[in-house]
Structure 1
Amino acid sequence: MSDSSPLPPVRLHPEAELARDALSTPLLSRAARLARWAGPDTRVDAGGGLVDEQLPAAAELLGLTGDAAAAHAAEAWRVAVDTGLVEVTDEEAGTVAAGEDLPLLTGGSPHDILAVWLAALEAVLADATVPDLDDLAEAMDESGEIDFSRLDWDPESEAAFLDGVLGNLYLLTVTEDGPGDGPVPLPALAASMIVPGDLGEPTNDMLEQISDAMMRLDDQFRLLEPIGLVAYQPVDEALMGDPEEEPAAPLDETDVSRYGMVRLTPLGLYGLRARLLEAGFGAPAVGDLVDKGADALLDGSSGYGPLAARAETQQWLDRREPLAAARELLAAARGSDEGAPLRRLRCQQALSLVGAQAEPAVRDVLDDPELGGLARVWLSELGAADVPPPSADLVYWLTIDTLAAQLAAEGNSEELQTLLEGLAQQHSGFFAAAWRVGHPATADVLEAMGRLHPDKRIAKEARKAAFKARSQQGG
């Protein structure tokens, strides 16, 4: 992922809903209960953690039982301290008091609550990259101190790996042709960090690295689920058993869900977007453009997928009077710059959401050299009467403009290639006339046809026409 180009826009749930989700996450709700429980008699160690003698009472308060009860209580307490829900008042005496941020959970705005949750998320992410207790125990020297040189652990690379995995999970979730709200198989997520995208089959060494990464991620996602970042189906314990032993039940190795499945929650999407923005990435959200002008809407949504662009545009329109919005959109669609064709395409799509109320504004631009073709197409699709027929020059200009918009929106897609093939078949003299079209993108469109058309003869015609168009433009 590059921080120089924006990611696809995310569709976030309302902050009030996300704040309710945050308050109900197991870890933050436990941390809040411990913060309210803490008082003058609560004692902590030098690191701010609850002393061992108080862990049973904390676990009982939280309703935790079993061997891991004390560990879960200690984790919730650490989150309470790290998020400012609890404050250590006297380090020497080890005493604590309720922190300044505790009242925010009941009296703060949704944004305040989410800020506390984000602090809790950072604390959990930091814990997730620390070696487990067994590894730490093995690294202890004779004096009981941890010898970090014995650990195969690089804090920075561990944090970078987890950040990369979460970044890829975010990208898969917000990309329109990705799994969306569906879960992602853990092997695929691990492989995304290890196998180059242009490699056909992973090597045996890569497969071993993927297996190791899956085990690390399995531990990490188990830690991240209680804070509400992900919904996680862990790796089937039977897959991690002794290979020499007969499994209790037959293993279906084709069932990918047994290898772990993970998806971001709506709260997780909010959290990862906040972290990406903090790290300098362009991470837009649907709704970012609702208070901006039509020019910002058409330009800003130009790189969005069709679903996100439609949602963004609908939110923008919902705040405006329909006819005035149509006039503003048409004015913003003018231009001869490189982005203008895609602006006009987005404008036409936006006008379809306005509906018949936009008709007066559209009729006003029928004689506009840049918008007249768009206006005729839109009115015809509306079923309007008395739509003047376009001139041959306007037909060619609109064709070039539409193809330029499709190139900008989709690149060299199969759909565009099919469109170009059909165009060349339907109009035998297309190239003889097209190179003369006074559109700034004429040469670029013809070059694309020459590059993409599978028929060598037609591709050669397109390249010749592109050369003529380029010469006519003087470049």
Structure 2
Amino acid sequence: MSASPLVLPPVRLLPADELAQQALAVPLLDRALRLARWAAPERAVDAMGELLDADLVAAAEELGLAEGDGDGEEDGLGEAAQAWAVAVDTGLVDLEIDEEAEESTPPGEAAGRAVQGEAYERVTAGDPQDVLELWLAAAEAALAEAASPDLEQLRDLVDDGEGPAGEEPEWDPDEEAEFLDTALANLYTLMALDDGTQADQGAVPLPVLAASLVVPDEMEQPSDAVLEEVTEVMMRLDDHFRLLAPAGLLDYQPVDEALIEEHEESGPPEPGEELDPEEISRYGLVRLTPLGVHGLRRLLVDAGASAPVVGDLAGAGGTELLDAMAGYPDHAARAEAESWLADRKPVDAARELLAAGRGEDEGAPSRRLMCQQTLTLVGAEAEPALREVLDDRQLGGLARVWLTESGASDVPTPDADMIFWLTIDTLAAQLAADDDVELLSDLVRDLVARHDGFFDTAWRVEHPATADVLEAMGRLHPDRKAAKDARKAAFKARSRDGS
């Protein structure tokens, strides 16, 4: 993975022992382990560390890949060679080749031997972390191979004129690896943002993933040229994902062969186009496996990305929890809150959350909104903590909301100042979250419609974000007069604050 400043949504991870069981069942790793056992006590190898021809055939037979003839037999030998390469790359077998023999022995002749390596001993001891480390090494080898051209691709480059006849065609492995890394990081993000309500169980349509690599965020309607590029990227990803599937990183339903023949005429569906599930699946569906989520997260973190895991904040303080949750998708924020609350008494948790919600810093409105949402998960035992802050200017409004929604009695009615302060505070939090502009516009319109003279009162609210919120309301309100009133109110608020 290349260095990355990415800040990624949190993901859920399976326990290490479950992931290790899945890793041992991955075809690529399973075959490498079987060959490491088969190779004991030693096997002859050539100067490149590859099996000799007769042993390669025996290895394919050991793996059940030697059936058939012609192309089928060649494919079996190729898969056996790949499994042997993984065994060597991951240390399941160690090579002992004399330097002089390495230089003097012709290809295909014995130059040394392979013996079981230390990695084999560690993995067979059964420690889940050792198994996962081995699987990740195998997956990285598969990623490197997927980013490398095969002979057919090299021929295509020459045929397409991308490399002069008789010369080695240009192929930038670093560029291809970066392309694949970015595609997998986008897939990771799209899956992390999925709330689990989709019928495809988190699988991402290949056109959606391709569009995330090509279509600029600000482009509402992709041009024909951009759609053609999306098609090209889809075909490129299809090649990569077919190679990666045996490594256990992802589940992949390839592009329908008929579509590959038709794509020049029809092209992929446009981003956002409504298609029935069966039609979408023809364009390819891809999802990271639980192992893939674990492994890709490791690679992203090693590359410098921030990639949190749901449950990481279970032991954190209230302020750290609320600050982090402000940047989480709704479903992940709820899961994180439930994890944090699990080992805390409701009243103690409520007191800590309310204390964390205080403040006049820029992030305080977002913390209070997260506090309010988290408190909806706390039972009636927390009521004393909420009553303790009824007179608090910053927390009294949300406390009244909680008590009312919980069916508590004798909840004091908030005065106008508290209502308007809570309104400004909530809007500040929603603007900071960069919520859907259309939804915010509807909210602003309805809010102003319910309160006569809203802006005449709102500019007087003593809240650090009052002017910014009113200015944003001026941008968001669909009515020109109301928008003008909002901007005037924002100016008054700034003048009052002397800024």
In the superposition, the TM-score normalised over structure 2's length comes to 0.86
Q: Is the 8 A contact 2:42 2:115 kept in 1?
A: no
Pairs within 5 Å for 1:421-432: 421-432=445-456
TM-aligned CA distance change 1:353 to 1:188, over 3 Å: closer
RMSD, aligned CA: 2.6
**SS of corresponding position for 1:101:** helix
Conservation of the 8 A alpha-carbon contact between 1:229 and 1:264: yes
1:339 aligns with 363
Residue 182 (structure 2) aligned to one of 164, 187, 197: 164
Aligned match of 2:266: none
Give the partner amino acid of 2:83: A
Instruction: Note the 1:47-196 alignment, pairs <5 A.
Output: 47-64=48-65, 65=67, 66-67=72-73, 68-91=75-98, 92=101, 93-135=111-153, 149-176=167-194, 181-196=201-216
Moved more, 6-15 or 436-445: 6-15
Q: Distance in 2 between matches of 1:350 and 1:183?
A: 29
CA change 1:394–1:210 in 2 (3 A) is closer
Q: 2:332 corresponds to which residue?
A: 308
Residue 5 of structure 1 deviates from its aligned partner by: 5.2
How far apart are 1:417 and its partner, in Å? 1.6
1:399 to 423, 426, 429: 423
Query: 1:91-118 CA distances to partner (integer Å, 9 max, x unpaired)?
Result: 5442112111213333243222211111
Q: Distance between the aligned counterparts of 2:185 and 2:118, measured in 1? A: 32
Structure 2 counterparts to residues 259-270 of structure 1, below 5 A: 259-270=283-294
Change (3 A) 1:139 1:97: farther
Aligned length: 460
Letter of the 1:332 partner, please give it.
A
3-state SS, counterpart of residue 308 of structure 2: coil
One-letter code of the match for 2:143? L
Give the C-alpha shift of residue 154 in structure 1: 1.0
Correspondence for 1:445 among 469, 472, 475: 469
- Please list the CA deviations of residues 424-456 of structure 1 after superposition, one character each: whole Å capped at 9, or x if unmatched: 111112111111111111111111111100111
* Structure 1 residues 288 and 328, CA gap change in structure 2 (3 angstroms): same
Distance 1:15 1:151 in 2: 44
Secondary structure (helix, strand or coil) at the match of 1:354 reads: coil
1:12 positional shift: 2.0
- Aligned mates of 1:47, 1:459 — CA distance in 2: 73
Give the superposition deviation at 1:200.
5.2
Deviates more, 1:307-316 or 1:58-67: 58-67
Aligned partners of 1:450, 1:204: CA distance in 2, in Å? Answer: 36
Matches within 5 A, 1:3-18: 3-4=4-5, 6-18=7-19
SS of equivalent to 1:367: coil
Distance 1:411 1:242 in 2: 39
Which of 374, 377, 385 in structure 2 is aligned with 1:353? 377
Taking every aligned residue pair, what percent have the same amino acid on both sides?
A: 59
| Cα distance between partner residues in 1 of 2:260 and 2:435 | 44
Stretches of structure 1 lacking an aligned partner (at least 5 in a row): 141-146, 244-251
CA distance in 2, matches of 1:26, 1:382: 53
TM-score for the superposition, normalised by structure 1: 0.90
- Report what 2:240 is aligned to: 220
Quote the Cα distance in structure 1 between the aligned partners of 2:348 and 2:403.
18
Distance 1:2 1:455 in 2: 46
Gaps of 5+ in 2: 102-110, 159-164, 264-275
Matching residue of 2:38: 37
Aligned to 1:373: 397
CA apart distance, 1:83: 1.2
Instruction: Report deviation, 1:187.
Output: 3.4
